[in-house]
Amino acid sequence: MIASCLCYLLLPVARLFRALSDAFFTCRKNALVAKSSSPQVDGNFAMAPRGPDQEECEGLLQQWQEEGSGQALSTVSEGLFVDKGVAQSSLALLMDNPGEQDAASEDKWSSRQLSDLWAAENLEEPFPEVLGEEPLPEVEGPMWAAVPVQTGPQYADCAVLPVGALAAEQWEEDPAVVAWSIAPEPVPQEEAPIWPFEGLGQLQPPSLEIPYHEILWREWEDFSTQPDAQGLEAGDGPQFQFTLMSYNILAQDLMQQSSELYLHCHPDILSWNYRFANLMQEFQHWDPDILCLQEVQEDHYWEQLEPSLRMMGFSCFYKRRTGYKTDGCAVCYKTTRFRLLCASPVEYFRPGLELLNRDNVGLVLLLQPLVPERLGQVSVAPLCVANTHVLYNPRRGDVKLAQMAIFLAEVDKVARLSDGSHCPIILCGDLNSVPDSPLYNFIRDGELQYHGMPAWKVSGQEDFSHQLYQRKLQAPLWPSSLGITDCCQYVTSCHRKRSERPAGWAESFVEEDIPEPEPDFPRTVGTIQHCLHLTSVYTHFLPQHGRPEVTTMPLGLGMTVDYIFFSAESCENGNRTDRRLCRDGTLKLLGRLSLLSEETLWAANGLPNPFCSSDHLCLLASFEMEVTAP
Ligand code: KL2
């Protein structure tokens, strides 16, 4: 009786709170836009439960602006001075003592020491330019931004007030609009940022100004009430639910090296301080339990992101790229929801192998879900979370596939149970490959016939069919010396006898010293496989109007290259050829944050924009795991 009364009272209150914080979030974004002309974006990230209506938003905005720099990033700046000697991340230690990770041991290693340790292991050497990414295309000006934006259909994505609901003057007062409708304040010449669009009228946003938060509104798509194959709805019986975000946050160094790609952006919104504040606000708003980041610049990670995320309750792990690039991947998890079982950094660079001479990396964590005490003595399987950023070069699909093979082999090793099956897996990141490309289909279908395929075809990013010379994929795709089979498994884990393995979980990653790979093992002819049974959270077309989903917008061309894949059991009559996988395996997809169309992002001046501070959108999904009685 008391419980049901509480339910009736608490549920509406919780919903109201959510609605209020959503409204505040959008106001705060506009405030950030208004402040974008200042070199430092101020304000703390705490969200106040405030009213959702426009008036209140404006009031809040004014109040926030008046507060000015007095509250300069209070939550963040505290973190900046945290002694690195007590940093949380103790990856090397964990690798030495898997399973013995505890608070005391974490304190023994400073984050900088660990970083140095890795750097030493990586034997970094400067690489000649030729080993880097393809040279940037010549860009004379932001051509794409000059194309007139169609302001019609994209508003189908807006979940809040329709366009005509407020008077035009109100929009004009909106700081999101003002910031983009007027030229920036004149500043002394020596301080003036180079803004290449001075006087280029066609680059102004469309005349009917819509606040960014309206254009870029993202729906939560809820699947929790859809019954699964067993007819069970989410929440039938005890379950463990969590959310995961995957986000390429655009490394500042990479952005500066490829500044031609960002000519459409006002320089103020490209400053790291502005973008950092915006990104943190996004993390705080969506509040994921697991955060998988790509393009995390090392200094920004140690000095700002890690301390801030730690204060938000995350424990974070980082793997920097090999070579001279300064960014890498990070995986963070809420310590109230998960306990770390193991962390495995993955380097794709292999000295002496031309196929693997690029500096991309991945990071694989095995996490033990922490079941709330109220559920009693129940158990949940560990969860394997794998995050990577694959090579960009659209011509080198051969390299991308070899990188993916190493990544899948690591995931297989970390997630493998003693009976040969796998624990639930989430594989996410920026794969620099589009949906339905051979690389994408390989992950989803578990098989790829690659022999004779032009290397550029693998990722589907660009069509190079007109070029005379085309590198073709030859079998075997990678040499046996890599120690990885055509099923994307380490040779050692394939050949290991069951009886040699102790029962339980941790054994597969205790063995860090992989012995010399056996020189010969059977290779297939022109086919690679994996057995992880993965399917994508996103379906790559928007439900409302069937347009392609976009996760990034290089030079105004929208495409999907970011993914969250997750374990799904094969259908009962699971036939590999029908390419169908059910979504009701050990991980159930409860919902996802909708993506946007290219047209919608055009209307917001592409990416990054004052509201979204990366050239990628974040991906967010909610899952449920089965909880079993012991
Ligand atoms: O597409 V990305 O952006 O996932 O957002 O991944 C790579 C590219 C990232 C890391 O290498 O840098 C970007 N043209 C355009 N973008 C490039 C290029 C290039 N030639 N090289 C690297 N990137």
User: 357-370: per-residue pLDDT in tens?
Assistant: 999 999 999 999 99
CA of 232 to the centre of ligand 1 (A): 43
H-only helix segments in 355-483 = 397-415, 438-445
> What pLDDT sits at residue 506?
40
CA of 257 to the centre of ligand 1 (A): 10
User: Are 388 and 363 within 8 A, CB to CB?
Assistant: yes
How far is residue 135's CA from residue 386's CA, in Å, rounded to a whole number?
29
Task: For residue 476, say if its preceding peptide bond is cis, omega within 30 degrees of 0.
Answer: yes
> What pLDDT sits at residue 540?
98
* Strand 447-449 versus strand 425-430 pairing type: unpaired
CA of 123 to the centre of ligand 1 (A): 24
User: In three state form, how does the secondary structure of 18-37 look?
Assistant: HHHHHHHHHHHHHHHHHHHH
At 340, give phi and psi (nearest 5°): -75, 130
Atom of ligand 1 at shortest range from CA of 616: 5
The whole-number mean pLDDT for each consecutive block of 10 residues of the chain, a chain of 630 residues, reads: 53 54 48 37 29 38 38 33 29 31 33 36 33 47 32 27 30 32 35 36 46 89 72 62 98 97 96 97 97 98 98 98 98 98 98 97 98 86 98 98 98 95 96 98 98 98 95 96 96 55 41 54 91 96 93 95 89 43 67 96 94 97 89
Tokens of 486: 């055509």
Pocket of ligand 1 from Cβ distances under 6 Å: 133-134, 136, 248, 254, 258, 261, 392, 430, 432, 552, 554, 561, 615
CA of 447 to the centre of ligand 1 (A): 27
At 465, give phi and psi (nearest 5°): -65, -20
In sequence order, what are the residues at sequence separation of 6 or more whose Cβ sits closer than 8 angstroms to the Cβ of residue 168?
208
CA of 48 to the centre of ligand 1 (A): 37
CA of 393 to the centre of ligand 1 (A): 8
Give the residue whose CA is nearest to atom 15 of ligand 1: 136
Atom of ligand 1 at shortest range from CA of 250: 5
Give the residue whose CA is nearest to atom 7 of ligand 1: 392
CA of 392 to the centre of ligand 1 (A): 5
User: What confidence tens digit (pLDDT) does each residue in 559-609 have?
Assistant: 999 999 999 865 544 444 333 344 444 799 999 999 999 999 999 999 999
Give the residue whose CA is nearest to atom 8 of ligand 1: 392
Cα dihedral 586, 310, 562, 473, rounded to 10, equals -90
CA of 136 to the centre of ligand 1 (A): 9
> What pLDDT sits at residue 211?
81
Give the residue whose CA is nearest to atom 14 of ligand 1: 136
> What pLDDT sits at residue 8?
59
User: Are 116 and 124 within 8 A, CB to CB?
Assistant: no
User: Are 139 and 260 within 8 A, CB to CB?
Assistant: yes
Give the residue whose CA is nearest to atom 2 of ligand 1: 392
Atom of ligand 1 at shortest range from CA of 552: 5
